Amino acid sequence: MSRFDPRSETFLNFDQRDGVSPGVLSPRSCLRSQSGELLFGGVNGIDIFYPEQIRDNQHIPPIVITAFSKFYQTVYTELPPGEELTLPYIDNFISFEFAALDYTIPEKNQYAYMLEGLDKDWIYAGSQRRVDYPNLPPGNYVFRVKGSNNDGIWNEEGTSVHVRIAPPLWGTWWFWVIAISLVARVVWMGYRRRVAAIEERSRELEAQVQERTVELRREIEQRMTIEEALRVSEMEKAVAAERSRLARDLHDSVTQSLYSLTLLTEAGRRMIKGHDLDQIEGNQSRLGEIAQQALQEMRLMVYELRPLELERMGLIEAIEQRLEAVERRAGLEARLKVEGEAKFPAELDEELYRIT
């Protein structure tokens, strides 16, 4: 049975809980008496009442939270308004039970709830007095519930409870600050260790380079010593060979000439004793030729050893003098151009002079 209010355009329903007879009302079995009574017939009897005697329940019922549970285990049997609950992150399955304190027809009381931070709007649950929230993520929530009496008079203010589900250790800001600091420290220590290893390796390589440099310098010095010894040895061999050649030349030319002079001198003595003037004159002429030849050979040997011009004038002037001699003999014009100072070892002076 329903009552329509044309002003608010709403219906108010009445059922067995309001005193209406159980069962179905019979069609066209209604009557209004002269006294204003309304009569409705049904399969189980007649409902008779005066409409003006039916009064709405204007009582605004207080709303209370009667139980709070975790994983279906009741923790609190009553929570005052504004209570704040803090739960660890593992206790993220929670339940609320609530009631509207109006006992006229309590089974007709209506409820609506929402969990701010999760629900976006009110959830109208009818007469259901319990709600479960499984697997809530860490965060701050506010559970709000409101209700009405049997005639739909709502307590819009309702009641509320603050719930905070703490994050796990690894979900807190200070954990991340510490973790980042530790990671940064480890990275820094690793970097410093790496830099130290590189520097140590650099020092080792530098020491190896220095050691190798010393070894190379020692090897170079040893090689230079060996080369110098070889050069000296070659020079000594060359000097010995030159001495042998000079000895041969002296023996083959100058010595023979001197021996011939000795023989001619003995022959001249005999000629003088014999007063053979013609032979003495011929002998003297032969002595002069042999002496002149020996003198030329000696000069040539001395020149080969060390040209006298180099000793007296130096390389440049000696070459100029030789060019002048060439010009006189061959009738040619020769020029010598020298840039800078010509200072060479004596052996090189001799070679350059002989080349020209």
Domain boundaries, the chain: 2-53, 63-167, 170-305, 309-356
Torsion of CA 235, 241, 247, 248, to 10 degrees: -160
Backbone angles phi, psi at 45, to 5 degrees: 140, -170
pTM (2 d.p.): 0.49
pLDDT the model gives residue 283: 64
Residues 235 and 229: beta-carbon distance below 8 Å: no
Pick the CATH number of 63-167 from 3.65.10.10, 3.40.50.1820, 1.20.1630.10, 2.60.40.10: 2.60.40.10
Distance separating alpha carbons of residues 119 and 97, to the nearest angstrom = 17
pLDDT (tens digit, 9 = 90+) per residue, 292-348? 776 666 665 655 555 666 666 676 777 777 777 766 666 677 777 777 776 777 666
pLDDT (0 to 100) of residue 354: 62
Asked if 319 and 336 touch (Cβ cutoff 8 Å), the reply is: yes
- pLDDT tens profile 142-151: 999 999 999 8
Higher pLDDT, 252 or 291: 291
pLDDT of residue 168: 87
DSSP one-letter code for 62: -
